[in-house]
Amino acid sequence: MTPSEQSWVPPNPPLGIPSTTPDVPPAISTPARRYGKIQDGGATRQRWIEDPTDPTCQIQPNALTVADLTKARWLIQTEKHNIPFQVAENAFALGYTNKAIYNQTLTRRLAEGDPGLAGCENVYDILVGRGLIIVEAMFRSDGPQFSQIARARLQEIAEPQTLRHLYVCDVVNFNTKNFVQDVLYSSRNGLTWPPACDAPLIWQYNTPEYQALLGTRVGKCAVYLVLEIFPRGTYYISKVMTWDQSSSLEIRFDIEPIPASLVSAA
């Protein structure tokens, strides 16, 4: 995608939380291969979400609960909080409320089993509301995946299939951070990091950049979350947004129903 095709305009604020089927169905064309193996991995994950007949997908719906985590001796601390400042303006524009009504939970446990992980910790700091998951910290040494824990947290307050937006704040994962800052925001795309423009950059569905973002470690977490919540071929990641907030990388994944026209054509 050339810079002229990129959108620098923040999303128009809809009334409430968007949940309708998009007007434009997912593209079925194969985008150019611009980012090598990381794009290849993202293209495979994109296909897993959209094609329920693809036999290479091994990710299954998950039923982990908070009670299961408590039984497994996870430390769980929950408080009511507002949306974190890093993504607040963006989230408020989508219709989420500016009140301390969201469950923010710190979920922690020391690693078990492998002696090489002794002293390492699993840490997940996640805020949830109807339609919304915001990740402020995630570090896994062993045990359940992020997607399983995030789904369990959302299920405490809402049906998981209400999920429409996943934010990841202040990304520190080297794989994801380095790709976005050094490859996407590079001279080859007419960009720099930190970006010259404060507005989020929208990476549209089925572009090389979109696929490459799904190929990152954070993108993998987003894909697995969709696969574990929704039946394959029903919902997809419609776009990905990235921006800089105080020299930190913020990412948003939008989750929408796959249009009926594509499902019937598959």
Radius of gyration, alpha carbons of the chain: 18
Closest residue by Cα to residue 213 from 30, 50, 2, 39: 39
Give the pLDDT confidence score for residue 2 in this predicted structure. Answer: 36
Give the pLDDT confidence score for residue 14 in this predicted structure. Answer: 30
Full domain range(s) for residue 226: 35-257
**Is 151 within the bounds of a domain?**
yes
Averaged pLDDT score across all residues of the chain: 87
Task: Count CB neighbours of 236 within 10 A.
Answer: 23
Task: Count CB neighbours of 235 within 10 A.
Answer: 20
Q: Is the pLDDT of residue 159 over 80?
A: yes
**Is 7 within the bounds of a domain?**
no
- The residue-averaged pLDDT of 168-173 equals 97
Band (29; pLDDT cuts 50, 70, 90): confident
Inter-CA distances, 182 with 193, 194, 213, Å:
7, 10, 13
Q: Is the pLDDT of residue 259 over 90?
A: no
**Is 15 within the bounds of a domain?**
no
Q: Could you tell me the two tokens for 167? A: 């934010």
- List pLDDT tens digits, range 205-252: 999 999 999 999 999 999 999 999 999 999 999 999 999 998 999 999
Tell me the percentage of the chain whose pLDDT exceeds 90.
76
**Is 162 within the bounds of a domain?**
yes
Whole-model pTM: value is 0.87
**Is 223 within the bounds of a domain?**
yes
79 CB contacts (<8 Å, ≥6 apart)?
103, 104
**Is 200 within the bounds of a domain?**
yes
**Is 182 within the bounds of a domain?**
yes
User: What is the rounded CA–CA span in Å between residue 38 and residue 43?
Assistant: 9
Q: Are 131 and 164 in contact (CB under 8 A)?
A: yes
Domain count, the chain: 1
Q: Is the pLDDT of residue 22 over 60?
A: no
Tell me the percentage of the chain whose pLDDT exceeds 70.
85
**Is 157 within the bounds of a domain?**
yes
Band (203; pLDDT cuts 50, 70, 90): very high
- The residue-averaged pLDDT of 257-265 equals 68
- List pLDDT tens digits, range 40-90: 999 999 999 999 999 999 998 888 999 999 999 999 999 999 999 999 999
- The residue-averaged pLDDT of 144-162 equals 95
